[in-house]
């Protein structure tokens, strides 16, 4: 936000009875408990925070502004967006007024626009024009960016399989419930938090310095994901290159990488190990052998410990991906905002083309029936609800700090509430729509091979790099359809990769901007450094043992650590910073306060869902197995250390903040849970709302 509002924040007139009424109606300003400052041994704590030097200096400032604004009561309230009358104001000179219930306090001058000659003027810095922080060139740039990040490869290779596995259309019931009560409120929180403070995921925790480690945790998780996620995108580049041929290399056996078990007849995928038919079990498809033996060369490695040298073909492909990412990010949102017009829209066009082609294939209707076939009894299975919760939280992308980062480049009064609803609706619809695209081809493969559809349905890499390419290879004009499909995967991956790296770059640049300015370290150079380090570490995943390391990174980079990041973020904002403060921030930006539904979700429901998912994930933690290779204990221990390295930043930074603060233990705690802006304005006393019961029970 701007420094304009902070300079006159929280002024009080001890002689105004109306102000006392206002204080009682706003929990943020009522009955503050104070803690003596170590710099003033004679300061006396007061019960209401009045009488300080800051109050005396502003005693004569009595002009107040009263806003008659509506309040959002939930999803379908008619007052969910500001009405035209919401901008009507009444100026009262020489008197102070109280606010209506649920509205922002008129005494909080930090919430007031500029007044010039009795007229209302808008502070330019509110819309991002009064500071040097860049903003999105167009509103559509921001929307496409957050949609592009939320809609990623998992929407294509995971959601359709989960829907089929967990009762077809019935799976949408737990999925939507988890979305509405779990992930979407936290998504709204991230957007509002970033847009109001106009800072990255680390510096934004000036609202509660004790939780600054949550920002470092989110940045590390986003960076860890770039070590392997961009390699997956590199695979798509390699497949695109191989698709420019008259005959796709995975259409037939007889290539130098094929084995005697290769067969073009009906066969299961590599994860189908429960079949009792040994003749079927021993067969492998050309597409499977192309991916495992030609692309990954996993057959040349004996395990996680046996890596070998990087494959130069994949090195070039991954380098191309990182080069595209650098060219998209080195100018910040001004450059990435243009790239997403292609990367965020192309997947929908290509998915539609693939669907129109697929529905004409034999067996396509059977595939759609398998996809949507309802099984109500699945709702009694707890694993269905766990799968729904995990898929929702990972799909929406809460906890990476990306949505917060993107929102920090918005104009101050942008309606992020509407953006939240629109993005989550598009994300869920895309997942559901992509399921049709996948299963019409799976139905076609099952029909063609004469096997049940559960013999070809799978999730993860195997679906998009083995099963789907095999289906495309049987179509007339197969190279064209292959290029189209893998280009879609490329665009799906790129905008998600851009979001993760932007979170890292913006987070560190905002937090250490003083040093970057002093050293004249430009964003272009810093972006190159971050991307280069990610590229170098990612090289371990293009070795002959890269299949094992990819699975290891995928398991531990953003598993439980991401859920912990989202949980701690919710606790830090809703409980320590306080719902009253957060709702006032949203009221200042949007002109309406969040309804009871959102406040209950932020404080209770969403954290409860996250705790339940984390507990179930830990309790059901299965051994790490890839291609019948069981990872050794030391690899698992190393993985957990890697996963917890990001979460460990939360207690480490919290201890550092407490150690750095001065005073007694109570005074130190008071300082690290009080917003830095408020702390700077209080000279002799530290006014601590968090020490009062009303701060914790407010909903």
- Cite the annotated binding site by residue number: 148, 150-151, 155, 395, 427, 492, 495-496
Place of tokens 């990412």: 325
- Pairing state between β 64-67 and 89-92: antiparallel
Write out the binding residues for Na(+): 148, 150-151, 155, 395, 427, 492, 495-496
Instruction: Report the alpha-carbon distance of residue 454 to residue 472 in Å, rounded.
Output: 19
Find the DSSP H helices in 265-345: 278-281, 286-289, 312-329, 333-343
CB proximity list for 170: less than 8 A, separation 6 or greater: 374, 375, 376, 378, 379
CB proximity list for 310: less than 8 A, separation 6 or greater: 539, 542, 543
Q: Show the tokens assigned to 84.
A: 């035209």
CB 127 within 8 A of CB 413: yes
Instruction: Report the alpha-carbon distance of residue 684 to residue 363 in Å, rounded.
Output: 77
Place of tokens 């998009």: 464
Strands (E), 11-88: 33-36, 64-67
Give whole-number Cα distances, 404 to 341, 399, 662, in Å: 20, 9, 31
Place of tokens 């949203």: 586
CB proximity list for 116: less than 8 A, separation 6 or greater: none
Q: Show the tokens assigned to 416.
A: 């992020």
Q: Which of 90, 83, 29 is nearest to 63 (CA)?
A: 90
Find the DSSP H helices in 468-600: 468-473, 478-511, 513-518, 523-538, 546-556, 560-571, 579-590, 596-600
The DSSP output letter for 100 is P
Give whole-number Cα distances, 449 to 106, 116, 442, 610, in Å: 72, 77, 11, 42
The DSSP output letter for 530 is H
CB 560 within 8 A of CB 645: no
CB 504 within 8 A of CB 219: yes
CB proximity list for 370: less than 8 A, separation 6 or greater: 164, 168, 439, 442, 443, 453, 457
Q: Which of 221, 143, 178 is nearest to 500 (CA)?
A: 221
Give whole-number Cα distances, 441 to 11, 231, 240, 364, 367, in Å: 66, 26, 20, 6, 7
Q: Which of 263, 248, 274, 626 is nearest to 452 (CA)?
A: 274
Instruction: For residue 509, give the 3-state DSSP assignment.
Output: helix
């Amino acid at each position: 936000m701007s420094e304009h509002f902070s300079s006159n924040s929280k002024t009080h007139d001890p002689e105004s009875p109306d102000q006392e009424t206002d204080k009682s109606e706003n929990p943020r300003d009522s009955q503050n408990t104070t803690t003596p400052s170590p710099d003033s041994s004679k300061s006396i704590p007061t019960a209401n925070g009045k009488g300080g030097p800051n109050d005396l200096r502003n005693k004569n400032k009595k002009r107040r502004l009263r806003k008659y604004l509506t309040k959002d009561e939930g999803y379908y309230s008619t007052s969910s967006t500001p009405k035209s009358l919401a901008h009507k104001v009444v100026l009262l000179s020489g008197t102070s007024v109280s606010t209506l219930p649920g509205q922002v306090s008129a005494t909080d001058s930090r919430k007031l626009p500029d007044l010039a000659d009795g007229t209302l003027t808008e502070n330019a810095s509110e819309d991002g024009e009064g500071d040097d922080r860049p903003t999105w060139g167009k509103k559509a740039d921001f929307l496409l960016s957050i949609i592009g990040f939320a809609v990623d490869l998992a929407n294509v290779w995971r959601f359709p399989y989960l829907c089929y596995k967990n009762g077809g259309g019935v799976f949408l019931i737990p999925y939507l419930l988890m979305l509405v009560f779990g992930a979407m409120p936290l998504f709204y929180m991230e957007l509002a938090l970033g847009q109001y403070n106009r800072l990255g995921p680390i510096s934004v925790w000036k609202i509660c310095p004790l939780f600054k480690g949550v920002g470092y945790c989110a940045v590390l998780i986003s960076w860890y994901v770039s070590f392997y996620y961009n390699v997956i995108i590199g695979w798509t580049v390699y497949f695109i290159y191989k698709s420019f041929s008259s005959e796709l290399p995975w259409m037939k056996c007889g290539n130098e990488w094929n084995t005697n078990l290769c067969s073009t007849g009906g066969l299961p995928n590599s994860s189908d190990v429960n079949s009792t038919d040994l003749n079927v079990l021993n067969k492998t498809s050309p597409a499977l052998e192309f991916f495992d033996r030609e692309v990954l060369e996993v057959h040349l490695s004996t395990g996680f410990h046996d890596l070998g040298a990087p494959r130069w073909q994949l090195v070039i492909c991954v380098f191309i991906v990182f080069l595209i990412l650098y060219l998209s990010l080195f100018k910040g949102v001004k450059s990435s905002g243009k790239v997403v017009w292609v990367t965020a829209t192309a997947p929908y066009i290509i998915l539609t083309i693939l669907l129109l082609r697929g529905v004409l294939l034999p067996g396509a209707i059977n595939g759609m029936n398998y996809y949507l076939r309802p099984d109500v009894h699945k709702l009694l299975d707890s694993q269905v609800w766990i799968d729904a919760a995990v898929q929702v939280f990972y799909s929406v992308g809460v906890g990476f700090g990306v949505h917060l980062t993107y929102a920090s480049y918005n104009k101050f009064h942008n309606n992020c509430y509407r953006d939240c609803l629109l993005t989550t609706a598009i994300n869920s619809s895309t997942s559901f729509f992509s399921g049709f695209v996948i299963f019409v081809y799976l139905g076609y493969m099952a029909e063609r091979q004469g096997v049940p559809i559960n013999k070809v349905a799978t999730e993860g890499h195997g679906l998009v790099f083995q099963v789907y390419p095999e289906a495309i290879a049987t179509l007339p004009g197969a190279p064209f359809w292959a290029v189209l499909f893998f280009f879609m995967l490329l665009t799906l991956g790129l905008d998600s990769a851009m979001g993760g790296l932007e979170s890292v770059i913006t987070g560190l640049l905002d937090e250490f901007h003083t040093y970057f300015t002093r050293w004249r370290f430009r964003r272009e150079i810093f972006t190159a450094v971050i991307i280069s380090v990610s590229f170098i570490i990612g090289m371990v995943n293009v070795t002959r043992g890269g299949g094992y390391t990819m699975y290891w990174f995928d398991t531990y980079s953003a598993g439980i650590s991401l859920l912990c990041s989202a949980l701690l973020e919710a606790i830090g904002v809703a409980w320590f910073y306080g719902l009253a403060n957060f709702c006032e921030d949203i009221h200042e930006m949007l002109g309406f306060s969040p309804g009871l539904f959102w406040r209950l979700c932020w404080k209770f429901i969403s954290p409860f869902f996250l705790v339940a998912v984390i507990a179930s994930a830990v309790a059901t933690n299965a051994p790490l197995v890839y291609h019948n290779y069981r990872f050794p204990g030391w690899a698992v221990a190393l993985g957990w250390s890697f996963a917890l390295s990001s979460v460990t930043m939360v207690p480490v930074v919290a201890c550092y903040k407490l150690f750095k603060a001065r005073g007694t233990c109570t005074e130190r705690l008071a300082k690290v849970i009080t917003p830095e802006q408020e702390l700077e304005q209080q000279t002799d006393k530290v006014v601590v709302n968090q020490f009062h019961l009303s701060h914790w029970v407010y909903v």
